[in-house]
């Protein structure tokens, strides 16, 4: 799996790469700039906007390459060459073309704008001249190519400062960062290309990544899952509990998704009044009614429990939650199941996977949603360590953690931002666990499958949860 590194880790990576290639850091910068130059869209005229560090250095080198390639190039230097240091100073010195120190008039004279303002060294929100430059770039009609990462986007977290360069294409050099694909990342990078400068991954094998990128190939495991000589009992017994009065849909979506994901036998637990309606909506699903606090539920044998979708927070909800959480069944905890957990101090040993969206994660960690989004990896890791389970932090660039390693999903889109798609995801995770996949594998495969289904449908508008379930099998063909 493709590793993702934090900004602090990029210096040792650069050093290891230079060492492997037996070149110095300036030659590495030249290679980086050439790599980016090769990904430049077809153009005659380009503006290269350079900043104070080595990202700017890449820009100066690229500008000279373009000049030698007979393009009409203009460098807009936010920092005067005399005040640059190290490789960036050398790069500026080697540039033989035209330079300006203020915003060029007629921004539409350029076919392409190269954003070489900030890379991994961004340390705060761009202000003053830098803010003006980013706003200028964003107003240009030209195609925008960002060197390494769009300026203003924080590589470690994917938080986009206001303003951040809105790139059409981003060429990441040597390594990718979590911020390229989680939180705001995918809204700013445009087409994302990684150029490893022909340095094999093993060269930085001793540098621990911050996370890994999940891959479509994970789903191959699913295609091999069914033996000829098997029966429904081979694919597990699953309980799906939730759906207080008026919320039957949540458990129905979850149970149906588990069914389509291949679980053998599925039983829904909902209110006494709603239970008879379950097979009317979906004949393959069995149902059990829970009347309330006085009712000691007879819990059927089960390999996995999915708890919380539409569960609510009433007395009925709490009583059902309490009984099921102490039933010692490996549990996928979602939605209100998580909110009830946030309200109690009890240990919850049976939780195998939890699937919070940022608001649910914020309740569990007793902080604000913006604190979760400010560092999604830290949040998911903290939850995984605290609850000793696999945690799936949903949203753009869903992150999975088992407390040891983190995995980010590069697929999916805001087409999934619609009621009930989270219930579907919980059902898929539980459905895969019932078939014998580990909690981590199930979370990884379900997240990828769920997101790829949205990409496969590519509606560019809301994908309803029911349609999502209907299209799931198409991704496995
Ligand atoms: N090392 C190598 O061998 C290679 C590196 N490569 C390239 O180098 C890039 C990393 O370079 P880098 O470390 O110099 O960081 P970079 O992002 O250019 O800027 C840091 C400067 O910006 C400043 N600054 C930060 N935020 C600011 C703000 N809001 N407003 C104003 N200023 C702000 C910051 O100042 P400070 O925070 O110290 O005050 C510092 O002066 C990397 O992304 C890749 O493109 C490739 O060529 C491959 C070989
Ligand atoms: N912008 C987005 N990009 C990618 N996936 C998204 C986006 N918005 C929502 N999703 C996905 O859609 C699902 C929504 O889940 P959730 O918020 O729990 O909804 P619900 O509770 O209504 O089922 C999650 O899997 C989430 O990752
Ligand atoms: K940049």
Taking alpha carbons only, the member of 125, 57, 138 closest to residue 91 is: 57
Query: What tokens appear for 257 in the block?
Result: 């998704």
Ligand nearest to the CA of 173: 1
The string of pLDDT tens digits covering residues 193-203 is 999 999 998 99
Residue 224 has pLDDT above 80, yes or no: no
Identify whether residues 40 and 57 lie together within a single domain. yes
Q: Examine the fold and report which residue of 210, 234, 257 is the final residue of a domain before the chain moves on.
A: 210
Q: Are strands 211-213 and 3-4 parallel, antiparallel or unpaired?
A: antiparallel
pLDDT score recorded for residue 160: 98
Q: Are residues 285 and 382 in the same domain?
A: yes
Confirm or reject: Cβ of 148 under 6 Å from ligand 1.
yes
pLDDT score, position 223: 80
Residue-wise pLDDT tens digits, 8-25: 999 999 999 999 999 999
CA separation for the pair 157, 376 (Å, rounded): 7
Q: What is the ipTM of this complex?
A: 0.94
pLDDT for res 296? 87
Q: How far is the CA of 206 from the centre of ligand 1 (A)?
A: 24
More confident of the two residues 366 and 292: 366
CATH, residue 191:
3.40.50.10260
Question: Domain end: 194, 210, 226, which one?
Answer: 210
Same domain, 206 and 284: no
Residue 347 has pLDDT above 80, yes or no: no
What distance in angstroms lies between residue 120's CA and the mean position of ligand 1's atoms?
6
Q: How would residue 132 be classed by pLDDT, with cut points 50, 70 and 90?
A: very high
pLDDT at 65: 98
Q: How high is the pLDDT of residue 164? A: 98
> Which positions make up the binding site?
54-58, 115, 119-125, 130, 148, 151, 250, 310, 357, 394-398, 422-423
Distance CA 449, CA 243 (A): 25
Cβ proximity of 267 and 286 under 8 Å: yes
How many angstroms separate the CA atoms of 172 and 186, rounded?
Answer: 13
* Spatial CB neighbours of 172, under 8 Å, sequence gap ≥ 6: 148, 149, 180, 192, 193, 194, 195
3-class secondary-structure state, position 313? coil
Burial of 259 (0-12, 13-18, 19+ CB in 10 A): buried
Confidence of residue 314 (pLDDT cuts 50, 70, 90): very high
Q: Are residues 206 and 234 in the same domain?
A: no
Ligand 3 (ion): residues with CB under 5 Å are: 115, 146-147, 151
Using a 6 Å cutoff on CB, does residue 126 contact ligand 1?
yes
Question: Between these two residues, 438 and 106, which has the higher pLDDT value?
Answer: 438
Domain co-membership, 384 together with 265: yes
How does pLDDT run across 173-209, given as a tens digit for each residue?
999 999 999 999 999 999 999 999 999 989 988 899 9
CA distance readout (Å), 156 to 10, 175, 182, 337 = 11, 12, 10, 30
Q: Which ligand is nearest to the CA of 121?
A: 1
- Nearest ligand 1 atom to the CA of 125 is 29
% of residues, the chain, pLDDT over 90: 92
**Ligand 3 centroid to 236 CA: how many Å?**
50
Whether the per-residue pLDDT at 280 is higher than 80: the answer is: yes
Q: Assess whether 47 and 133 both reside in one domain.
A: yes
Same domain, 164 and 220: no
The domain of 462 spans 216-475
| Alpha carbon of 392 to ligand 1 centroid (Å) | 32
Q: pTM of the full predicted structure?
A: 0.95
Q: Which tens digit of pLDDT belongs to each residue from 55-81?
A: 999 999 999 999 999 999 999 999 999
- Residues of each annotated binding site for (6S)-NADPHX: 54-58, 119-125, 130, 148, 250, 310, 357, 423
């Amino acid at each position: 799996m493709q590793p993702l590194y934090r900004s602090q880790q990029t210096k040792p990576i650069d050093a290891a790469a230079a060492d492997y290639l037996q070149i110095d850091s300036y030659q590495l910068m030249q290679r980086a700039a050439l790599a980016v130059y090769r990904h430049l869209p077809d153009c005659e005229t380009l503006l290269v906007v350079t900043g104070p560090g080595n990202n700017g250095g890449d820009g100066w080198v690229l500008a000279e390459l373009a000049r030698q390639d007979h393009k009409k190039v203009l460098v807009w230097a936010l920092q005067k060459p005399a005040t640059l240091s190290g490789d960036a100073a050398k790069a500026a010195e080697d540039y033989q073309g035209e330079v300006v120190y203020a915003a060029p008039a007629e921004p539409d004279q350029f076919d392409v704008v190269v954003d070489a303002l900030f890379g991994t060294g961004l340390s705060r929100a761009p202000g003053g001249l830098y803010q003006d430059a980013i706003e200028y770039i964003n107003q240009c009609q030209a195609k925008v190519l960002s060197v390494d990462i769009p300026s203003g986007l924080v590589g470690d977290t994917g938080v986009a400062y206001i303003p951040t360069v809105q790139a059409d294409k981003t060429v990441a050099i040597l390594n990718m960062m979590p911020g390229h694909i989680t939180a705001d990342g995918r809204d700013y990078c445009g087409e994302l290309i990684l150029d490893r400068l022909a340095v094999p991954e093993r060269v930085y094998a001793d540098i621990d990544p911050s996370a890994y990128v999940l891959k479509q190939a994970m789903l191959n495991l699913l295609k091999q899952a069914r033996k000829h000589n098997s029966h429904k009992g081979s694919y597990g017994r699953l309980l799906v509990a939730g759906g207080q009065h008026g919320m039957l849909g949540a458990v129905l979506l979850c149970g149906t998704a588990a069914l389509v994901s291949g679980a053998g036998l599925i039983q829904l637990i909902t209110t006494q009044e709603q239970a008879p309606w379950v097979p009317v909506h979906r004949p393959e699903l069995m149902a059990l009614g829970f009347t309330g606090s006085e009712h000691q539920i007879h819990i059927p044998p089960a390999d996995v429990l999915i708890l919380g979708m539409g569960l609510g927070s009433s007395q009925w909800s709490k009583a059902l939650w309490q009984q099921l959480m102490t039933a010692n069944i490996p549990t996928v905890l979602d939605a209100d199941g998580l909110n009830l957990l946030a309200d109690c101090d009890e240990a919850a040993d049976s939780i195998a996977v939890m699937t919070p969206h940022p608001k649910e994660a914020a309740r569990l960690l007793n902080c604000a949603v913006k604190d979760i989004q400010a560092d999604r990896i830290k949040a998911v890791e903290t939850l995984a360590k605290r609850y000793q389970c696999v945690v799936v932090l949903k949203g753009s660039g869903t992150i999975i953690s088992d407390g040891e390693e983190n995995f980010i999903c590069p697929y999916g889109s805001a087409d999934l931002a619609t009621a009930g798609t989270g219930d579907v995801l919980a059902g898929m995770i539980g459905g895969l666990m019932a078939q014998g996949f580990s909690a981590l594998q199930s979370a990884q495969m379900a997240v990828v499958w769920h997101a790829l289904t949205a990409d496969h449908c590519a509606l560019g508008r809301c994908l309803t949860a029911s349609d999502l379930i209907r299209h799931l099998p198409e991704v496995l063909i």
